[in-house]
Amino acid sequence: MSTDLPSSLMREGFAVIATVGGPFVIGLLVVGLLVGLLQAATQINDPAVGFLPRLVTGLLVAYFTGPWAIERLARYVAAAFRGMSGQM
């Protein structure tokens, strides 16, 4: 195990987290903004009106990007274990 392996694993791990989490953050940000604008325009401040669209968006993003995200995370973990065992 080389001395630069932990820093490279951490750097790559942060990149994977940003890549996998990006669709969730962007989707929830857009829906939250739209719901906030709708609530401000109509003055309906019911918590369910704000929560349910974000919940549905999060579930839809997880459904459509879930297999890709799991595959990306599994590739990272496999590469990390290979690197730690010295087969890199």
pLDDT in tens, 7-54: 888 999 999 999 999 999 999 999 999 998 998 888 888 888 888 999
Domain ranges of the chain: 5-85
Question: What is the rounded distance in angstroms from the CA atom of residue 72 to the CA atom of residue 76?
Answer: 6
Residue 1 clears pLDDT 80, i.e. is over it: no
C-alpha separations of 8 from 53, 71, 73, 81 in Å: 38, 20, 16, 13
Helix (H), strand (E) at residue 25: helix 5-42
Please report, in angstroms and rounded to a whole number, the separation of the first and last CA atoms in the chain: 10
pLDDT of residue 25: 94
pLDDT of residue 77: 93
pLDDT of residue 87: 54
Residue 88 clears pLDDT 60, i.e. is over it: no
Residue 62: CB partners within 8 Å, gap ≥ 6? Answer: 24
